[in-house]
Amino acid sequence: MKIPTLRIYTIAYLIFLYTPIVILPIFAFNNSTAVAFPLQGFTTEWFYNIAHDDVLFRALQNSLIVSSISSVLSATLGTFAARASTRYKFPGSGPLMGLIMLPMVLPDMITAMALLVVLLSIGIKLSLVTIILGHVLICTPFSVAILTSAFQSLDKSLEEAACDLGEGPVSTFMLVILPLVMPGIISALLISFTISLDEFIVTNFLGSGEPLLSTFIYGQLRFPKYVPNIMALGTVLVGVSIILLTLAEFFRRRGIAKTGSKDTGGFL
């Protein structure tokens, strides 16, 4: 008999990948501070705890502020860069794009340290603003990558047609280009938001001590009695992520259906 090696491998891989995520909600409802089997009974105490944790609330607030602003900025910058690189050929455009994409492969440590040194040496105080700065730097390459493919699949004659029909460059962009690359922009926003939300190194280096979700969680994990709280928080985050991704995929598919373009595969 033939051994279904590939199938076994695939199943093992999926188990390895998702077991930790499945464990998360299990222990979030487990009535014990120790993360261990056997389970001790059902409780919602941990959720109650996190709902009434002021520091967590501040961290969440800060994270939402930082991630929202970072993702909007990086998607905007990404739009500009992707547009420029796909439509205009100018001297040095190749190396320039390389430099923009570099933070994607550069270790975050390096980016974070370099930024820290520069910021301190020119006398800028660390704050949420400096964190946003760092996050934009890290997220923008991902936005550029996603948006470049969106702009590349845009037929140039659509722009020319709009111009031919009397529209200037700005209204052409607003009326034709933007609606057609919107699915790409939404993807870029979402990816950037996610990257920014769980970014730890830059947040830790460039923060002023104000808690953000990632640094907060890291801090809490050092105290065993808080671990179940983190389990509960993680469960909430997983839930929110699933909802967000589902929404994004819904809008992406609707966009594709509306314009009749080919489905080139999103991230779901």
176 lies in the site for other proteins, by CB under 8 A? yes
In sequence order, which ranges of the chain are alpha helices (DSSP H)? 5-28, 45-51, 54-87, 93-101, 108-121, 128-152, 156-164, 169-172, 178-198, 201-206, 213-220, 227-259
What is the number of alpha carbons within 13 Å of residue 209 lying toward its C-beta?
1
Please report how close the Cβ of residue 261 comes to other proteins at its closest, in angstroms: 6
Candidates 72, 145, 163, 245: give the one binding other proteins (CB under 8 A): 163
What span, in angstroms and rounded, lies between the C-alpha atoms of 131 and 169? 35
Rounded distance, CA 8 to CA 37, Å?
26
Minimum CB–partner distance for residue 157 and other proteins (Å): 4
Which of 164, 209, 222, 263 is in the footprint of other proteins by CB under 8 A?
164
1: Cβ contacts below 8 Å, ≥ 6 apart: none
Tell me how far, at minimum, the Cβ of 217 lies from other proteins, in Å.
41
Tell me the angle at which helices 178-198 and 128-152 cross, rounded to the nearest 10 degrees: 140
Which of helix, strand or coil describes residue 90?
Answer: coil
Residue 145 or 182 having the CB closest to other proteins = 182
* Selected binder of other proteins within 95, 209, 260, 265 (CB under 8 A): 260
> Rounded to whole angstroms, how far apart are CA atoms 102 and 138?
9
Decide: is 65 part of the binding site for other proteins (CB under 8 A).
Answer: no
3-state SS, residue 58 = helix
Is residue 168 at the binding interface for other proteins, with CB under 8 A as the rule? yes
Interface stretch with other proteins, choices 69-77, 199-207, 231-239, 257-265 (CB under 8 A) = 257-265
Question: Taking CB under 8 A as the rule, does residue 174 contact other proteins?
Answer: no
Question: For other proteins, which is the closer residue by CB, 54 or 155?
Answer: 155
Near other proteins by CB under 8 A: residue from 6, 7, 91, 155: 155
Any contact of residue 186 with other proteins (CB under 8 A)? no
Which is closer to other proteins, CB of 183 or CB of 228?
183
Question: Per CB under 8 A, does 265 bind other proteins?
Answer: no
Does 180 bind other proteins (CB under 8 A)? Our answer is yes
> Does 84 participate in binding other proteins (rule CB under 8 A)?
no
DSSP for 16-52 reads HHHHHHHHHHHHHTBSSSS--SSP--B--HHHHHHHT
Site membership for other proteins, residue 165 (CB under 8 A): yes
Q: Which residue among 166, 209, 225, 263 contacts other proteins (CB under 8 A)?
A: 166
| Binding-site size, other proteins (CB under 8 A) | 21
CA distance 71 to 73: 5
Rg over alpha carbons for the chain, rounded to the nearest Å, is 22
Dist CA 265 CA 268 (whole Å) = 7
In the bound state with other proteins, the residue whose beta carbon lies nearer, of 25 and 255, is 255
Beta strands in 59-154 (DSSP E): none
The amino acid at residue 233 is L
The residues of the shown chain that bind other proteins, judged by CB under 8 A, are 155, 157-158, 160-168, 171, 175-176, 179-180, 258-261
